[in-house]
């Protein structure tokens, strides 16, 4: 596969500028770069979703198929997107085969299920063909997508941040599988913001920066610092995390949970987060940590217990009520709960405070614009400006808008769910810096994350396992303490 001198523009933005990249057959090739560098755009050209404005895409030396010939594209390349292309209301078997029923006659359900079962067996995917795809967890869903891609004949697979929503054991299992696929000659393009993963699974790395190609090298020849320098264009080391001064015991709680429970997700749990304190919550996929944070943020109704902000009780199960009580939320899925795609960057970032831009709900555009511009600068959001549609942002920059919005109300409590998922190494620092600044100003922060880099900013970290808090780690923990506690073994 090769991209030769490809250029792609979206309106005034040049997303790719004369990029040439060759991926050797059988290699596992990493594509890295900061948010907005052009990675997803390159993937959209390599999968035939978009046509380049200049240059060309070639497979095995031959020109790419016409855009409309989806079947031809599917035979050459498949992409396991961060966002699933699996249809949740269909069964696994239907997802695997429905779009390629031969002949167009009546569907032979029994044969379809049989073929799906054989295919799942072949790729050792432990999922029943009759399972509703919506019931699959992230890991199973990705495996079904990979099996589907391979069964369509593709020997080149693009994995766009495949580990973003997996826990540590899921990632290890995925990597084992990728190595096995690689051994059978499958070529892979692997996109990740976790540079360690690049070293763990890839043999070659390409760096894009500001829409341009920067380097392609064997992974073994590029050190971590050199890679970060290539991505950022500046030769400075990563800053280390400054320890925070402990929050005095006399400081009152900003958030108080009393026997909060949600049947099937987590058991009754009591917790206090002081004003100015950052409390981390981590745990494996089924630990209940995300559901807990979603309950506090108003996305879910608890089956028992209470939530209060300062002395005031919060009506559960309502995002507006949580917001009114002073709880800002950065949700897990920025596509579903996070952003309103039809609105601009500025409108999204300032949505909860729109009432402040003029009397009686009237919005004075210049005021909104000024605030939005300040957010764009403060959170380092790469965009053409406040008027750009939020859908035009790269994934990581969209995440920054979600955080800007959550902080726009100066909340007493900030609830964050995997806040740095999809965010590049440098932006991660500015994003976590913004969270720390909010805490320094007195916000109580509850941060759910699997990322050790996120958790390092916390004053203490609670570890959940099967719906209960099983460990509490004070600042100064080692990585192995966290990993051991998450896996349910004591270190």
Determine the Cα–Cα distance for residues 329 and 18; give it in Å rounded to an integer: 40
Residues in the chain: 491
Q: Which stretch binds ligand ATP (CB under 6 A): 212-220, 370-378, 388-396, 468-476?
A: 388-396
**Inter-CA distances, 77 with 81, 149, 152, 178, 407, Å:** 12, 8, 9, 16, 41
Could you count the other beta carbons within 10 Å of the beta carbon of residue 360? 5
Query: Could you say which residues in the range 146-165 bind ligand ATP, by CB under 6 A?
Result: none
Residue 10, interface with ligand ATP (CB under 6 A)? yes
* Comparison of 67 and 71: residue with beta carbon closer to ligand ATP: 67
Determine the Cα–Cα distance for residues 8 and 396; give it in Å rounded to an integer: 20
- Host H or E run for residue 92: helix 92-97
> What track of x and - describes contact with ligand ATP for positions 411 through 430 (by CB under 6 A)?
-----------x-x------
Residue 348, interface with ligand ATP (CB under 6 A)? no
Q: Which stretch binds ligand ATP (CB under 6 A): 6-14, 102-110, 163-171, 216-224?
A: 6-14
Interface pick for ligand ATP out of 395, 411, 419, 467 (rule CB under 6 A): 395
Residue 396, interface with ligand ATP (CB under 6 A)? yes
In sequence order, the β-bridge partners of residue 271 are: 257
Residue 206, interface with ligand ATP (CB under 6 A)? no
Answer left, alpha or beta for residue 197, where phi above 0 means left and psi between -120 and 50 means alpha: alpha
Q: Which stretch binds ligand ATP (CB under 6 A): 119-127, 171-179, 391-399, 451-459?
A: 391-399
* Comparison of 195 and 279: residue with beta carbon closer to ligand ATP: 195
* Comparison of 282 and 394: residue with beta carbon closer to ligand ATP: 394
Q: Which stretch binds ligand ATP (CB under 6 A): 179-187, 306-314, 389-397, 448-456?
A: 389-397
Q: By C-alpha distance, which of 172, 164, 169 is closest to 194?
A: 164
Contact 449, 471 (CB under 8 A): no
Q: Which stretch binds ligand ATP (CB under 6 A): 33-41, 136-144, 177-185, 367-375?
A: 33-41
Per DSSP, the residues of 49-88 read: SS--SEEEEEETTEEPPPTT-HHHHHHH-EEE-SS--S-T
Q: By C-alpha distance, which of 112, 448, 465 is closest to 120?
A: 112
CB of 4 to ligand ATP, least distance (A): 18
Residue 35, interface with ligand ATP (CB under 6 A)? yes
* Comparison of 97 and 213: residue with beta carbon closer to ligand ATP: 213
- Tokens read off for 154: 């593709």
- Residues at the interface with ligand ATP (CB under 6 A): 10-11, 13, 15, 33, 35-41, 382, 392-397, 422, 424
């Amino acid at each position: 596969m090769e991209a030769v001198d490809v250029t792609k523009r979206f309106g005034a933005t040049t997303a790719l500028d004369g990029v040439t990249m060759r991926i050797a057959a059988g290699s596992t090739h990493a594509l890295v770069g900061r948010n907005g560098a052009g990675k997803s755009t390159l993937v959209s050209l390599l999968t035939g979703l978009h046509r380049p404005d200049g240059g060309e895409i070639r497979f095995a030396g031959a020109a790419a198929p016409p855009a409309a010939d989806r079947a031809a594209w599917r035979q050459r390349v498949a992409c396991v997107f961060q966002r699933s292309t699996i249809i949740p209301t269909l069964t696994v078997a239907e997802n695997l085969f429905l779009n390629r029923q031969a002949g167009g006659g009546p569907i032979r359900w029994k044969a379809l299920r049989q073929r799906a079962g054989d295919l799942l067996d072949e790729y050792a995917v432990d999922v029943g063909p009759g399972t509703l795809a919506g019931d699959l967890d992230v890991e199973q869903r990705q495996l079904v997508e990979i099996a589907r891609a391979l069964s369509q004949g593709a020997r080149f697979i693009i994995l766009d941040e495949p580990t973003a929503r997996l826990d540590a054991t899921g990632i290890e299992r995925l990597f084992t599988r990728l190595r096995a696929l690689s051994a059978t000659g499958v070529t892979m393009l692997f996109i990740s913001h976790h540079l360690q993963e690049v070293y763990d699974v890839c043999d070659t790395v390409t760096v894009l920066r500001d829409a341009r190609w920067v380097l392609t090298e064997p992974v073994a020849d590029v050190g971590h610092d050199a890679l970060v320098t290539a991505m950022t264009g500046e030769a400075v080391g990563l800053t280390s995390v400054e320890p925070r001064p402990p929050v005095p015991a006399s400081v009152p709680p900003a958030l108080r949970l009393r026997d909060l429970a949600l049947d099937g997700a987590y058991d009754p749990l009591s917790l206090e987060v002081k004003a100015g304190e950052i409390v981390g919550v981590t745990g494996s996929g089924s630990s209940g940590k995300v559901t807990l944070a979603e309950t506090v943020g108003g996305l879910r109704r608890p089956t028992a217990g209470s939530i209060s902000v300062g002395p005031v009780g919060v009506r559960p199960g309502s995002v507006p009520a949580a917001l009114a009580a002073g709880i800002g939320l950065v949700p897990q899925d920025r596509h579903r709960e996070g952003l309103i795609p039809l609105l601009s960057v500025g409108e999204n970032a300032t949505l909860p405070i729109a009432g402040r831009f003029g009397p009686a709900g009237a919005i004075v555009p210049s005021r909104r614009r000024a605030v939005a511009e300040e957010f764009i600068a403060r959170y380092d959001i790469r965009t053409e400006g406040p008027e750009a549609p939020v859908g035009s942002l790269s994934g990581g920059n969209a995440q920054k808008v979600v955080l800007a919005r959550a902080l726009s109300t100066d909340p007493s409590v900030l609830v964050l769910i995997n806040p740095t998922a999809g965010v590049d190494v440098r932006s991660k620092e500015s994003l976590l810096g913004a969270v720390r600044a909010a805490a320094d100003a007195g916000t109580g922060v509850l941060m759910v994350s699997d990322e050790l880099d996120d958790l390092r900013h916390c004053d203490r970290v609670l570890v959940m396992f099967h719906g209960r808090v099983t460990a509490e780690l004070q600042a100064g923990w080692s990585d192995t303490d966290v990993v051991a506690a998450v896996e349910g073994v004591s270190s």
